[in-house]
Amino acid sequence: MHQSWKTISLLSLFSTAALADHLGPTYPAPIDFSSKHSKIPAAWKNLTTLFDGYLKHHVNNSLTAPLAGVENITFSTSLFSIHDPRATELQYHYTSPEIATSKNGTNKVDANSIYRIASVSKLFTVYTGMVTLTEEEWHTPLTKLNPALAKYAAVADEDPTWLIQFDKITPWALASQSSGIPTQGGPLNDILWAFLTQQSTVNPVTEYGFPPENISSLGPCYGGLVEAIAECHDSTFVESNALRPPAFLPWSTPMYADNNYEVLGALLSNITGKPLADVYESALFSPLNLTSTFYSPPTKKADQARSVVAGIPEVGFYLDIPYTTPSGGLLSTLTDLTKFATSILNNTLLSASVTRKWMKPQTHTASLSYSIGAPWEIVRYVSPTTGKVTDIYTKLGDSGNYGSITALIPDYDAGFTLLAACSNVAVRSLQTNVILDYITSAVLPALEAQAALEAAQNYVGTYRSTQPKVNSSITIGIDESSVPTNNFGLSLTEWISNGTDVLASDLFSGAKPRLLLSIPKQTPQGESGAVAFQASTFAQTYSYLTPGAAKRGTVGPFSGQYLTNLDFWSVDGDYYGGNGYREFVFAVNGDGKAESVTPVATRSRLEKK
């Protein structure tokens, strides 16, 4: 679809509000997370004061009501930023009575306490694959990587309802939860196995009318006794699931399945020819100095003394089923998870272009606010004040007595981590998410406000030509009309080119465009560089269902597409001499402060005064 600049100009007059800009950051990422001038420490202080009020001082009011039950959970959380190392000082730790009185492990948690990280292990597994596998290997059918699966795939192609089409599944399908293979499949989820091993008193044959089944014939990976699970190895695990019916066809719909990552872990070991523990060590643990991250439960007394042991040790913290490790078996600390997360945002082990490609949705879910990557669970946060959409790239862990999250926010080069433990699984699972809601509601508005504040400090001002007798200038101001107080929108308030008022022309129809970040500074902090912005006059909301869109006559997804996504349709669509007249490139110093601006259409450098 193509719209002329005249049509776009008319559409842009529908509204002066700009709520949901391009996907990605509106401003350069904030640098200051720790000074007294930053908005972020104050927001964190308000959050932790609220936690303290409920957990330590037993304050019960409308603000703390959702926290009911959190007092039973031990948890550790912190922020991180690739620009401000002191961001990790914004931590909070709470030790529940269960851990405070435990006879095993630590009785007080801190940043170096060892927790099980549950399904955050999946992110470790895919990251290991990103470092280890080639692009070709990621997209090679499993039947070529494990020829033993070919015999099953041949039959499956005749009737894909009953057998898995392994020849249609690649490691990337596993990583992006789009393989369609059934979930778990191990003994822990089998109701017959639970009965035979006395984990349950319910006999499924008599209680449910199921036919008798000789589960031992399925082998240790599926139906063996606890002692026999140790005999289940990577290769036998993959084949043990080959005869199970698929849940969906490959690539048809995303489905959370632990088996995806257990199979992926087996393939990583097979392709590299090394035990998976060694693959993790060489790919991630050693390069990132993750000295407190473990493939198996720690055995040294010093490590055991700082471990968070919730519930019965043998069936919780110290349970070790190796073939499940790639899906949910790793152990780590807040300190190590911060190193791990910042390495992704900082392109420590991958190139910047590979990281950007990796951190993208692979598919939607049925929810408008939740997409899936590899293995990212992408939460789409909408600012309650500005309406800006921010994608949070997460991996949530929720298994047994332990919960965790690693949340990366690329728009702000920052994120947060959380580790939690409680032997009451239902309480832990529910209330861990409540804690995450509180963190998100406190941190995201503060990040947006701080990024906006720094952008105003670094870019607002007048830029003029240094050439004699050339009347060319640009003024960058703050447009507070379309955003709330304390959030600033950079605005192109004046543009004079060779004595002509460009904003008064029909190019902008008298509007004062907002400047939206298009290419962030690519040079390291402390070094000078360039930052590009696109000027936008387009009215946008994050959904055609919003009240603002409805007031402008929007009634459906097609009639509302320009109001909700006009920047997508129209960015850089009109040119002068082959260059977009809406693009502006700023030269910035090592502190990120603008020194000059070049309107790309005129190619004239204007110095800041």
Tokens 């037993």 correspond to 58
* pLDDT above 80 (res 34): yes
What pLDDT is attached to residue 224?
A: 41
pLDDT band at 571 (very low <50, low <70, confident <90, very high): confident
Least confident of 41-45, 322-326, 462-466, 602-606: 322-326
Question: By percentage, how much of the chain surpasses pLDDT 70?
Answer: 88
* pLDDT above 90 (res 28): yes
CA distance 166 to 340: 32
What pLDDT is attached to residue 563?
A: 74
Question: By percentage, how much of the chain surpasses pLDDT 90?
Answer: 66
What pLDDT is attached to residue 17?
A: 44
* pLDDT above 50 (res 468): yes
pLDDT band at 185 (very low <50, low <70, confident <90, very high): low
* pLDDT above 50 (res 18): no
Do 455 and 31 touch, CB atoms closer than 8 A?
no
Q: Take residue 437 and report the two structure tokens written for it.
A: 């809601």
Q: Take residue 318 and report the two structure tokens written for it.
A: 């110290």
Least confident of 2-11, 456-465, 543-552, 558-567: 2-11
Write out pLDDT tens, residues 575-595.
Answer: 888 898 999 999 999 999 999
Least confident of 126-135, 172-181, 287-296, 317-326: 317-326
* pLDDT above 80 (res 485): no
Write out pLDDT tens, residues 323-349.
Answer: 889 999 999 999 999 999 999 999 999
* pLDDT above 80 (res 237): no
Do 320 and 297 touch, CB atoms closer than 8 A?
yes
pLDDT band at 9 (very low <50, low <70, confident <90, very high): very low
Q: Angle, nearest 10°, between helix axes 120-132 and 258-272?
A: 30
What pLDDT is attached to residue 589?
A: 97
The pTM is what?
0.92
Least confident of 122-136, 146-160, 260-274: 146-160
Helix or strand or coil: residue 304?
A: helix
What pLDDT is attached to residue 223?
A: 47
* pLDDT above 60 (res 191): yes
- In angstroms, the Cα distances linking 328 to 235, 261, 432 are 18, 9, 17
* pLDDT above 80 (res 3): no
What pLDDT is attached to residue 487?
A: 44
What pLDDT is attached to residue 496?
A: 97
Helices assigned H by DSSP within 2-132:
5-11, 39-55, 97-100, 120-132
Do 476 and 461 touch, CB atoms closer than 8 A?
yes
Do 130 and 376 touch, CB atoms closer than 8 A?
no
Rg (CA), the chain: 27
- The span from the first CA to the last CA of the chain, in angstroms, equals 42
Do 67 and 48 touch, CB atoms closer than 8 A?
no
CA distance 85 to 33: 9
Q: Angle, nearest 10°, between helix axes 334-345 and 120-132?
A: 40
Q: What is the DSSP letter of 436?
A: H
Amino acid found at 307: S
Q: Where are the beta strands (DSSP E) in 107-246?
A: 115-116
What pLDDT is attached to residue 546?
A: 78
**201 CB neighbour count, 10 Å cutoff:** 8
Do 488 and 478 touch, CB atoms closer than 8 A?
yes
Question: Of 210 and 567, which is predicted with more confidence?
Answer: 210
* pLDDT above 80 (res 189): no
What pLDDT is attached to residue 12?
A: 40
Sign of CA dihedral 391, 532, 27, 508: negative
Summarize the confidence of residues 549-554 as an average pLDDT: 68
What pLDDT is attached to residue 244?
A: 79
Helix or strand or coil: residue 485?
A: coil
pLDDT band at 228 (very low <50, low <70, confident <90, very high): very low
Least confident of 61-65, 104-108, 496-500, 553-557: 553-557
CA distance 220 to 218: 7
Strand pairing partners for 489?
479
Write out pLDDT tens, residues 98-116.
Answer: 999 999 999 999 999 999 9
CA distance 469 to 210: 92
Average pLDDT of the chain is 88
Residue 172's H or E segment, with its range, is: helix 171-175
Helix or strand or coil: residue 237?
A: helix
Write out pLDDT tens, residues 205-220.
Answer: 989 999 888 766 666 6
Write out pLDDT tens, residues 125-153.
Answer: 999 999 999 999 999 999 999 888 888 88
* Residues in contact with 141: Cβ distance below 8 Å, sequence separation at least 6, in sequence order: 166, 167, 168, 169, 170
pLDDT band at 271 (very low <50, low <70, confident <90, very high): very high
